[in-house]
Structure 1
Amino acid sequence: MTRCRLCGSEAMASVVDLGATPPCESFLAAHELDRAEPAYPLHLRVCSECWLAQIPPLITPEETFKEYAYFSSFSTSWVEHARTFVTGAAERLGLGHASFVVEVASNDGYLLKHMVERGVRCLGIEPSVNVGAAAREAGVPTLTEFLSPEVGAGVRAEHGPADLVVANNVYAHIPDVVGFTRGLRALVADDGWVSIEVQHLLTLIEENQYDTIYHEHFQYYTVASAIRALASGGLTLVDVELLPTHGGSIRLWARPEGAAGAPSERVADVLAREKAAGLQELSGYAEFAARVAKVRRDLLKFLIGAAERGETVVGYGAPGKGNTLLNHCGIRPDLLPYTVDRNPYKHGRFTPGARIPILPPERIAADRPDYVLVLPWNLRDELVEQLSYVHEWGGRLVFPVPELSIVEVAPGGVTA
């Protein structure tokens, strides 16, 4: 990568190089195990002009999202997070029967179904054919498209301008930041609102969350770099919320330039935190690669030690972040014989690169392993409760990030 995709600068500095891995959602069917897998460099760099952290766009969204393995509704806490957001947004913006809401990357309708229940007219724009079909089956109107300025203008012409445009966990997934942002502007009314949730680079760096770096995530935002990105499409940041989701996210509230007004004090507060953490100078990124290497060493040491003691370790979850971790650490079925997942789409498939079998969750209770390695560590509270039954045979949970943590659970999900 020689130029920043946002500002065009050539002042790009290395943050961490994770080698080459397959795309994290390219799960393998059994008949594909003897085929070659493409692997692409996974090297995070930061632009020292606009401070957008980014990886090279080596795969296209079309390759990843036309047929997608992730269904948001399988996470109980994520559906609840969406319901809470809809309730708050409706109150904040006065959304009602006369309003129009668009969600970009609406997945299986996990969020907009709450708008439908409130009687708010809405539309999802979802590029994945299979998950978009699931949304329509659930009663959520959904357009199968990638957002562009042209698609945004077409939706506006047919349905009218949106009072609220929601773009949760998609702003990192598009290599054309400027074009996508212009698409958001095309959708939203001149006095409307855009709400974006995206992982915060501040917590990624501070909490060693390097497994959230994968080929679907083309860039990683601070509030400072998000301001630049939004401005490229004619949007102005007016408020920000810090969220615990995905290990630490930011919810950006933006409006068209003419309706924006002055930003809230929270914007200034978060910008000050980012500056204090050194994220507007290269020194703030200098030690991250060394801390990533320690996460890898500690996890491998634990898995090898368990194997030598004759103890069993299995996985829970098959998220994209888990595949970055498994491949970077070189973990194979000799150290992790299988993982389980609630999503039936993944059952009988194998993780990309590491080729670890994915089984239904009931397998854990049947096998009674000594340890369960939790790959979606960002759902820690939810999964400690879900997996509390492992206490019945003295099993323990292992969380690899931000540092190796072995947890004993008691009935009800309370840690012992």
Structure 2
Amino acid sequence: MATTDIFAPPRPQPLSERLASCRSCASDDLERVLDLGMQPIANALVEVDDVDSREARFPLELMVCRSCSLCQVSETIPPTSLFGNDYPYFSSFIPALLEHSRAHVEALIAERKLGPDDLIVEVASNDGYLLQAFRDADIPILGIDPAKGPADASAARGIPTLNAFFDAALAEQLTADGTRASVMIANNVLAHVSSINDFVSGFSILLADDGIAEFEFPYIVELLKRNAFDTIYHEHIFYYSLQALEPLFARHGLHLNDATPLEIHGGSLRIRVSHQPGQSMQLITLMNLEKTLRLNSLEPYIDFADRVNAIRDDLRSMLTDIVEGGGTIAAYGAAAKGATLLNFVDLPSGIIKYVVDRNIHKVGKYMPGLMLPIRNVAEFEHSPTTHLLILPWNFADEIISQQCAFAKAGGKFLVAIPKPQVVDVHFGR
């Protein structure tokens, strides 16, 4: 259960359940490899009226199952607390993600020769950012998402959307009339579902015999290589390797057949599964790489933890030196990864003045734990600062391009990942 301040006014608190066995293979041979301290729910932005009330915090620890090699957090928080009505993530506010998704859709339509006789089902469809491209090509679609705000936004775009959690029971309901999906897509959700066997079983049920399902998620190899510990938060329950995924899918009659590295979200993987076997050479190459990196041992994770602790110390020193030298610091992007980063670094009050964000659903609220006010990006021009810490570092190029006037006026951009540093910015003529 969360620790709380007994002197603060109460706020309804979710409970967490401590991990006793691997969520995938049920082994109890678990090892803690990283401790990021007591952290709030990263996406639980705080309303103005709640700033002074007590806030739930939970242990944020990375565990490794020594039986199946799956990395996972130590606490399970009810999904209704993580993805409730006020879930603030709307994918359509990220131009780079829109372009990435459009290219993905176009490639699938061409490869699979998709048309009006096919059904595309997206699990965790958010605000319809991806399915709209299938809709525009007159291909039947169905979105499924448990967060009411994004699901309503999707429906408002004319995209058929179920506001529900996806599982085997829902898949059975959908197939009761004989409906099966030619293609299923689940981007950035495979890592979010604690009942992972029930979730994967749903894909086996709903997917047509000759259909494919594709999943995108942050790749543990890239997380370790880029020191991307800020992508670890309670909402991200799992951190997958291919060697951990293969037995999970096989348990439900699905074959892991392909894997493609992606740059999106700071290093992701797109995998393809189906009822039919047929491993690609690219998948085999990546699985051999994982063996070389010894991801089935504790060594790479212990080295990672040492680097994470060094980043914490270096960032704290860098930001404190800037302020002591007369500089001022704001942050860009009220992302969940920013909440993990800043709560772990535990900066002295006042080092960072505020956060700006383009997402209107976040503006006017406060970052969890830190209680930093979130302002509209337009207000950034009226509150001069010397340094801007980019929290969603995976979109740093896009953000710097948008804020080129800041750099031309002498402002400096900072990132913390893969190490704390000032970003060297050059503008062409």
Name the TM-score, length of structure 1 as normaliser.
Answer: 0.96
Deviations 1:57-87 (A, max 9, x none): 4311111112210000000000111000000
Quick one: distance in 2 between partners of 1:303 and 1:128? 36
The corresponding residue for 2:124 is: 105
1:4-403 correspondence to structure 2 within 5 Å = 4-67=22-85, 68-158=87-177, 160-256=179-275, 260-331=276-347, 333-403=349-419
Cα distance, 1:249 vs structure 2: 0.7
Whole-Å separation in 1 of the counterparts to 2:356 and 2:59: 27
Aligned-pair CA distance for 1:232:
2.5
Counterpart Cα distance in 2 of 1:81 and 1:251: 12
Name the CA distance, whole Å, in 2 between partners of 1:319 and 1:385.
19
Checking the alignment, whether the CA contact within 8 Å between 2:30 and 2:63 is kept in structure 1 is yes
The structure whose residues are more often helix, as a share, is 1
Are the counterparts in 1 of residues 134 and 141 from structure 2 also a CA contact under 8 Å? yes
CA distance in 2, matches of 1:140, 1:332: 46
C-alpha separation in 1, matches of 2:75 and 2:57? 13
SS of residue matched to 1:14: strand
Report if the CA contact (8 A) 2:76-2:194 is conserved.
Answer: no
Corresponding residue SS for 2:353: coil
**Secondary structure class of the residue paired with 1:346:** coil
Pick closer, same or farther for the CA change 1:311–1:149 going to 2, 3 Å.
same
Question: Any conservation in 1 of the 2:181–2:208 contact (CA below 8 Å)?
Answer: yes
Indicate the SS of the match to 1:345. Answer: coil
Give the superposition deviation at 1:411.
Answer: 4.0
In the alignment, is the contact (CA less than 8 A) between 2:60 and 2:75 conserved in 1?
Answer: no
CA contact (8 A) 1:12 1:47 kept: yes
Rounded to whole Å, the distance in 2 between the matches of 1:204 and 1:20 is 21
User: C-alpha distance in 1, partners of 2:158/2:379?
Assistant: 33
The answer to whether the Cα contact below 8 Å between 1:368 and 1:393 also exists between their aligned partners in 2 is: no
Following TM superposition, by how much is the alpha carbon of 1:233 offset from its aligned partner in structure 2, in angstroms?
A: 2.2
Note the alpha carbon deviations across 1:61-119, whole angstroms, 9 max, x for none.
11111221000000000011100000011112111121100000000000000000011
Tell me which amino acid in the other structure corresponds to 1:346: K
1:110-153 per-position Cα deviation (integer Å, ceiling 9, x unaligned): 00000000111000001011110000111211001100101012
Post-superposition shift, 1:288?
1.2
- Asked if the contact 1:390–1:409 (Cα under 8 Å) also holds between the matched residues in 2, the reply is no
Percent identity over the alignment is 35
- Partner SS, residue 319 of structure 2: helix
More displaced 10-residue stretch of structure 1: 96-105 or 323-332: 323-332
Could you tell me how far apart the structure 2 residues matched to 1:26 and 1:331 are? 20
Deviations 1:148-169 (A, max 9, x none): 1010121223571000000000
Paired residue secondary structure (2:176)? helix
CA offset digits 1:184-237 (Å, max 9, x no partner): 112211111000001100111111100100000111101111112222222111
Q: Take 1:102 and 1:156, find their aligned partners in 2: how far apart are those partners? A: 12
Give, in whole Å, the separation in 1 of the partners of 2:301 and 2:50.
Answer: 39
Question: Which runs of at least 4 in structure 1 moved beyond 4 Å after TM superposition?
Answer: none
- Number of residue-to-residue matches in the alignment: 410
Task: Please list every run of 5 or more consecutive structure 2 residues that lacks an aligned counterpart in the other structure.
Answer: 1-18
Letter in 1 for 2:173: G
Could you report, residue by residue, the CA deviation over 1:343-396 in whole angstroms, capped at 9, with x for unpaired residues?
111111100001100000012222231111000011122122112221231001
Matched residue SS, 1:286: helix
